[in-house]
């Protein structure tokens, strides 16, 4: 009783434990309850914020802690949008993004300016600033898109790219209008603004990848890597503010800068998404809801009128932009819904613009009252517009994204042949994480239950120490996979022969791919791959990847892939190329293919624009293999597709590859890849 009496239950809640408990209960309950009603939980969190906020039941104040967490959530949304975008697809659709960006900027600017001058009777500066609020938008529905797994869809890439364009232009309009209203616009203003933006963009887009690659190469602690990511997000946001832009632009560009350093299938990416979606983004949505004052809608007709006009203009302009984008680029109606849903929500940049405009005083009226660039009716109408547009956006995005996701699942089921099973024999704790990371990169995104880690203990030399070490290595592999929500089965085998144990598991578990590693400090054995791997290659026909890591796969700039002549005629060629395609899509690194003209032509048809940034170089003479080494740069990984001696694509010069690698390629990672070949182990499955 004494302890209970010390807790302060007065409203608004002041006890930090009780306040945080209430917020967590809302974050927990909103998705569970609203999913049953088919209402986007994002909308539920905004409404919950209005209910518990200072204009509702006054349970929680929108204090500095809510603002801080909400700001982090807003920056997180923009950062994830840049981080999850497919860079190759983004570049392919850059002209489409530019077109959409101009549609979604110019149409609201024109409509908004006309309505501001002729309907609301505002002056020119106020009307242009109001129009810029309609032009900007916040990707508030992006978590819905991400959760449904369509973040790489063309419509999403177009919208995200267009968002950067329209928000940047809208915020530049804000800066210019405020400067004009306060008399600060002169020749020096334009020079200072242009130079600061240029320096900011160069630092983020070129400096951040350099710093990030160095950090991820040298620091492998999971917590340190995550904190580093947060530092880069907020540093980019701060630099944007220094350059005279809004922080959200810096967060988005930070995501683009780190895009290739955080693979989609990596544990770090999983942590970034998990923390953002669990904590930071819900805090932002609650904070937006706390701004809503429903009482103004019943006490001021002017607020209702202005708010309704703003809603109609903003929604109509964004719908027209989405419709024109659909017609211009022949997109589906579901893709149009996604574009409209992502671009209709007004929140971050709109709030920034209205607060800045409200605080700019241009003079006084006859009664001595301040004349603001944006008056109270616009301020309150903006809050109403935020609520309605976020509601419309959430429903539109969820409907379109759900239909696209359902179609994608249907297509995958039609094209799916067999499940892939990837086996990783592990022995050394230093290399096990990189072996698992490579396996995560080559697997298909939908494969969440097909990885196996194998540790073989020699029957003749088994003891308690060997058993403990084996279990520790297996647990490391399992934990690394679990960090990406992938279940890995650990297998412990006693056998007199390691190769026999591996071959047996390949048959027992219907393994389709084998990933084995070489120690970082060891050369490739003189007897080519050593008797263990050579025995496995002889006894099993599964696709085999022999990996020697020199750096984390996430820090690789380019994958150089050397393919022998006639490799396209091997029955496992398609499978191994699709595994390589998964790697390039997961890491975002550029790809350079070396091969004969016939092989490269077959490769281009097979990949059909799905190989990311790929280039093709004709290469035929394996007797002069050192030519390839001239192209090697730091942070390159070399993939050499080889053949068993009985294979169609086998060349005697392949026997010299280990010598070349030991002599010229010690500082880089490399993978020796053996595709499935005819005449071995009938019944092996061939995947596409």
pLDDT for 379-431, tens place per residue?
778 878 888 888 888 888 888 888 888 776 555 544 444 578 889 888 877 78
Is the fold of 418-540 the same as that of 549-676? yes
The CATH classification number of 14-412 equals: 1.20.1530.20
Q: Who wins on pLDDT, 601 or 91?
A: 601
pLDDT classification of 376: cutoffs 50, 70, 90: confident
Give the separation between CA 292 and CA 56, rounded to whole angstroms. Answer: 9
**What is the predicted pLDDT for the residue at 313?**
92
* pLDDT at residue number 114: 93
Q: How far is C-alpha 102 from the geometric centre of its chain's CA atoms?
A: 24
What's this model's pTM, rounded to 2 decimal places?
Answer: 0.74
What distance in Å separates the CA atoms of residue 437 and residue 486, rounded to the nearest whole number? 11
Lowest-confidence region among 160-164, 357-361, 529-533 = 529-533
CA distance 611 to 585: 7
How far apart (Å, rounded) are the C-alpha atoms in residues 227 and 612?
Answer: 29
* DSSP 3-state of 595: strand
Domain ranges of the chain: 14-412, 418-540, 549-676
Give the span between the Cα atoms of 554 and 228, in whole angstroms. Answer: 15
Q: Computed over its alpha carbons, how large is the radius of gyration of the chain?
A: 29
pLDDT, residue 227, reads 93
pLDDT of residue 611: 53
Tokens representing 546? 């022999």
**Residue 561 confidence (pLDDT) above 50:** yes
Q: Is-contact 380 305, C-beta < 8 A?
A: no
Angle between helices 597-607 and 573-587 (to 10 degrees): 60
pLDDT of residue 687: 39
Strand order in the sheet with 422-425: 488-495, 451-458, 422-425, 513-517, 543-548, 669-674, 636-641, 558-562, 590-595, 614-618
Q: Sign (positive/negative) of CA torsion 353, 358, 364, 365?
A: positive
Instruction: State the architecture of 418-540 in CATH terms.
Output: 3-Layer(aba) Sandwich (3.40)
Q: Which residues contact 638 (CB under 8 A, 6 or more apart)?
A: 559, 560, 561, 562, 628, 632, 661, 665, 668, 669, 670, 671
Total Cβ atoms within 10 A of residue 542: 26
Work out whether strand 669-674 and strand 636-641 pair parallel, antiparallel, or are unpaired: parallel
> According to the model, what pLDDT value does residue 202 have?
93
pLDDT exceeding 90 applies to what percent of the chain? 11
The dotted CATH code for 549-676 is 3.40.50.620
Q: Is the pLDDT of residue 630 over 80?
A: no
Mean pLDDT of 484-501: 83
* Greatest Cα pair distance in the chain: 100
* Per-residue DSSP letter, 592: E
pLDDT tier at 526, thresholds 50, 70, 90: very low
Mean pLDDT of the chain: 81
78-87, 111-120, 514-523, 634-643: least confidently modelled range: 514-523
Scored b (16 or more CB within 10 A) or e, 440-460 reads: bbbbbeebeebbbbbbbbeee
Please report the pLDDT score of residue 238 as a whole number.
92
CB atoms within 10 A of CB 149: 15
* Residue the block writes with tokens 């005697």: 652
**pLDDT tens sequence across 308-353:** 999 999 999 999 999 999 999 988 899 999 999 988 888 767 776 7
The terminus-to-terminus CA distance of the chain in angstroms comes to 67
pLDDT per position as a tens digit, 242-252: 887 777 788 88
Number of Cβ atoms within 10 Å of the Cβ of 271: 18
CB contact at 8 A, 548 and 669? yes
pLDDT in tens, 565-609: 888 888 888 888 888 888 887 777 888 888 888 888 888 888 775
Q: What per-residue confidence (pLDDT) applies to 683?
A: 39
Strand, helix or coil for residue 220: coil
Mean of the pLDDT values across residues 490-504? 82
Task: Yes or no: say if 286 and 26 are a contact pair by the CB < 8 Å rule.
Answer: yes
**Whether 292 contacts 51, CB under 8 Å:** no
Q: How far is Cα 155 from Cα 336, in angstroms, rounded to an integer?
A: 7
Looking at per-residue pLDDT, the higher value among 30 and 637 belongs to 637
């Amino acid at each position: 009783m004494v302890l209970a009496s010390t807790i302060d239950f007065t409203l608004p809640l002041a006890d930090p434990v009780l306040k945080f408990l209430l917020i967590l209960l809302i974050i927990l309950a909103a998705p569970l309850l609203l999913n049953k009603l088919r209402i986007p939980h994002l909308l539920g969190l905004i409404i919950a914020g209005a209910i518990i906020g200072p204009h509702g039941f006054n349970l929680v104040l929108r204090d500095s802690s809510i603002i801080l967490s909400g700001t982090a959530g807003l920056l997180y949304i923009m950062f994830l949008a840049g981080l999850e975008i497919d860079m190759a697809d983004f570049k392919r659709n850059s002209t489409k993004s530019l077109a959409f960006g101009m549609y979604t900027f110019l149409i609201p600017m024109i409509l908004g300016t006309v309505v501001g001058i002729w309907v609301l009777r505002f002056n020119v500066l106020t009307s242009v600033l109001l129009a810029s609020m309609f032009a900007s938008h916040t990707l508030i529905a992006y978590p819905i898109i991400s959760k449904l797994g369509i973040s790489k869809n063309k419509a999403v890439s177009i919208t995200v790219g267009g968002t950067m364009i329209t928000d940047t232009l809208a915020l530049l309009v804000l800066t210019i209008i405020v400067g004009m209203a306060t008399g600060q616009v002169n020749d020096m203003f334009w020079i200072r603004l242009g130079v600061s933006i240029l320096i900011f963009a160069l630092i983020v887009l070129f400096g951040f990848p350099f710093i990030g690659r160095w950090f991820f190469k040298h620091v492998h602690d999971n917590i340190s890597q995550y904190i580093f990511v947060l530092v880069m997000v907020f540093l980019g946001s701060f630099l944007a503010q220094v350059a005279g832009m809004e922080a959200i632009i810096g967060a988005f560009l930070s995501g683009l800068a780190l895009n290739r350093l955080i693979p989609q299938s990596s544990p770090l990416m999983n942590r970034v998404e998990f923390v953002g979606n669990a904590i930071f983004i819900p805090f932002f949505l609650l904070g937006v809801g706390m701004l809503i004052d429903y009482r103004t809608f019943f006490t001021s007709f002017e607020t209702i009128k202005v708010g309704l006009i703003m809603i109609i203009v903003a929604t109509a302009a964004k719908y027209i932009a989405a419709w024109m984008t659909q017609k211009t680029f022949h997109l589906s109606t579901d893709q149009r819904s996604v574009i409209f849903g992502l671009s209709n929500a007004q929140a971050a940049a709109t709030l920034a613009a209205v607060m800045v405009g409200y605080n700019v005083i241009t003079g006084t009226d006859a009664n001595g009252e301040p004349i603001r660039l944006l008056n109270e009716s616009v301020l309150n109408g903006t809050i109403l517009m935020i609520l309605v547009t976020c509601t419309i956006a959430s429903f539109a995005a969820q409907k379109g994204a759900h239909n696209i996701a359902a179609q994608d699942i249907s297509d995958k089921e039609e094209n799916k042949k067999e499940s892939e099973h990837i086996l990783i024999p592990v022995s050394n704790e230093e290399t096990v994480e990189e072996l698992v990371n490579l396996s995560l990169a080559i697997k298909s995104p939908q494969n969440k239950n097909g990885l196996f880690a194998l540790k073989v203990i020699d029957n003749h030399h088994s003891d308690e120490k060997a058993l403990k070490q084996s279990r520790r290595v297996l647990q490391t592999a399992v934990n690394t996979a679990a960090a990406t929500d992938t279940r890995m089965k650990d297998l412990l085998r006693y056998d007199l022969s390691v190769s026999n144990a591996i071959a047996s598991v390949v048959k027992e578990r219907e393994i389709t791919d084998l990933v084995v590693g070489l120690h970082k400090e060891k050369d490739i054995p003189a007897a080519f791959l050593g008797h263990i791997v050579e025995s496995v290659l002889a006894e099993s026909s599964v696709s085999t990847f022999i990996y020697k890591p020199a750096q984390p796969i996430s820090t690789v700039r380019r994958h150089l892939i050397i393919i022998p002549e006639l490799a396209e005629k091997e029955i496992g060629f398609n499978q191994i190329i699709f595994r390589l395609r998964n790697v390039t899509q997961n890491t975002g690194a550029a790809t350079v293919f070396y091969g004969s003209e016939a092989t490269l032509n077959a490769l281009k048809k097979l990949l059909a624009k799905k190989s990311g940034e790929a280039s093709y170089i004709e290469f035929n003479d394996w007797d002069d293999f050192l030519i390839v080494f001239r192209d090697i740069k730091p942070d390159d990984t070399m993939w050499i597709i080889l053949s068993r001696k009985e294979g169609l694509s086998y060349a005697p010069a392949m026997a010299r590859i280990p010598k070349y690698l030991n002599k010229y390629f010690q500082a880089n990672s490399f993978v020796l890849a053996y595709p499935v070949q005819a005449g071995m182990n009938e019944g092996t499955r061939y995947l596409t």
